[in-house]
A = this chain, B = another copy of it.
Amino acid sequence: MFDKYEFVKEDMKKIDEFILENIKTNSPTIKKAIDDLVLSGGKRIRPLLVIAIARMGEYSEEKIIPIAASIEIMHMATLIHDDIIDDSKMRRGRKSIQSKYGKETAVFTGDFLFSQAFNLIADIISKENLKLIARGVKAICEGEIEQFDNRYNLDLSIRKYLKRIYRKTALLFAISCESGASQAGLTKEMIRAMRHFGLEIGVAFQIVDDILDYEGVERIVGKPLGSDLLNGIYTLPLIYALKTDRKKAIEGILKKRDLSRRDVNHIIKEVRLSGGIDYSKELAVKYVKKAVKYLEIMPDCEQKNLMMDIADDVLKRNY
């Protein structure tokens, strides 16, 4: 994706190799599940951020690759557990672990990955960074549970939505950036700026993710449109639409709870008409612009260009 930057392809390969080599288990089921997950690709945006930022300071591959890999491993663990909750059949265009191996395997493969991720970084990362990453996982859990608790809640405010995705997604982006920056010995100001860059990008990333549930191309997104809607999870495009004159029409359908495919398509259409998708896109653009501002403090270099490209790409992505 960012192949014009020489180091990216190589570093990303190293991360995949590190994950496959270091997640050792004598359980064939876990092994298969993890191989599947690593080989199915994924954007690897969190480790990419760790590395791009770390390469702006004193770069120590022996530390940075494991840190970047561990953050990706924890992210993978949350994805596996997320699929149990959503009862997702698909992930990244492939069968999810839970639909392939059952929720039992999904639960403990996720736990296995968490413990492995901590195990891999325990002796190379500073205690502060270790705690930071643990806090990131904590926030994700809180965000996910808050989201679940608010299913079918028609009174969700945009503010509450933003707070949710801050926890659910943005914080781990921020922590990825902060870990890379602090491990590379950047200045306090730079570390702070990078943390903010991660936060803003993370919010934009999740907003775009939520837009894709309304207007993605199913084949590319890798799962059916309206999946969130079906699970009672109301995201920005819908929350916005519920504040417009489309409210009544949408609420009338949503009150049924058990939505048919036709109902879902009807709501998607209403949300589009309400301007909810345009509004969401504009908000994502705003967050990306805020993020890019935080790059100003960094010296001009290849890595800074890469980070601007990553920021742009968040808006362009279609899966």
CB pair A26 B134 closer than 8 Å: no
Q: Is A29 an interface residue when CB atoms closer than 8 A count as contact?
A: yes
Q: How far is the CA of A146 from the CA of B29 in the complex (A)?
A: 8
Contact A141 B127 (CB under 8 A): no
B30 touches A142 (CB 8 A): yes
Check A122 for interface membership: any CB of B closer than 8 A: yes
Q: Is A220 an interface residue (CB 8 A)?
A: no
> A30 — which chain B residues lie within 8 A by C-beta?
141-142, 145
User: Which chain A residues (19-78) contact chain B, with CB distance < 8 Å?
Assistant: 25-27, 29-30, 77-78
CA distance A144 to B131 in the complex (A): 27
Question: Considering the chains assembled together, what is the distance between the CA atoms of A110 and B106 in angstroms?
Answer: 13
- Across the two chains, which residue of chain B brings its CB closest to A27? B142
Closest to A105 in B: B145
Q: Is A130 an interface residue (CB 8 A)?
A: yes
A190 in the interface, Cβ–Cβ < 8 Å? Answer: no
Q: Is the interface of A mostly helix, strand, loop or mixed?
A: helix
- A103 contacts the other chain (Cβ, under 8 Å)? yes
Q: Establish whether residues B145 and A131, one from each chain, have CB atoms under 8 Å apart when the complex forms.
A: no
Task: Enumerate chain B residues within 8 angstroms of A115, measured Cβ to Cβ.
Answer: 114, 134-135, 137-138, 141
Q: Does A84 contact B (CB under 8 A)?
A: yes
Tell me, yes or no, whether A111 is within 8 Å of chain B by CB.
Answer: yes
A318 within 8 Å of B by Cβ? no
Produce 1/0 per residue, A145-168, CB < 8 A to B: 110110000000000000000000
> CB distance B103 to A84 under 8 Å?
yes
Inter-subunit contact B103/A142 (CB<8 Å): no
Q: B104, A145: Cβ atoms under 8 Å?
A: yes
A212 CB within 8 Å of chain B: no
Q: Which residue of B lies closest to A129 (CB)?
A: B122
Given contacts A122-B127, A134-B115, A138-B119, contact A145 B108 (CB under 8 A): yes
Which residue on chain B has the smallest CB distance to residue A123? B127
Q: Is the CB of B148 within 8 A of A105?
A: yes
Q: Is the CB of B134 within 8 A of A116?
A: yes
20 contacts between A and B (CB under 8 A): A25-B138, A27-B146, A29-B146, A77-B111, A81-B111, A85-B108, A108-B144, A108-B145, A111-B111, A112-B137, A112-B142, A114-B137, A115-B135, A116-B134, A116-B138, A118-B130, A119-B131, A119-B135, A119-B138, A123-B127
Q: Which residues of A contact B (CB under 8 A)?
A: 25-27, 29-30, 77-78, 81, 84-85, 102-105, 107-112, 114-116, 118-119, 122-123, 127, 130-131, 134-135, 137-138, 140-142, 144-146, 148-149
Q: Beyond A29-B149, A112-B141, list 17 extra A-B contacts (CB 8 Å).
A: A27-B149, A29-B146, A30-B142, A30-B145, A84-B104, A84-B107, A104-B145, A111-B111, A112-B137, A112-B142, A112-B145, A115-B141, A116-B134, A118-B130, A119-B131, A119-B138, A122-B131
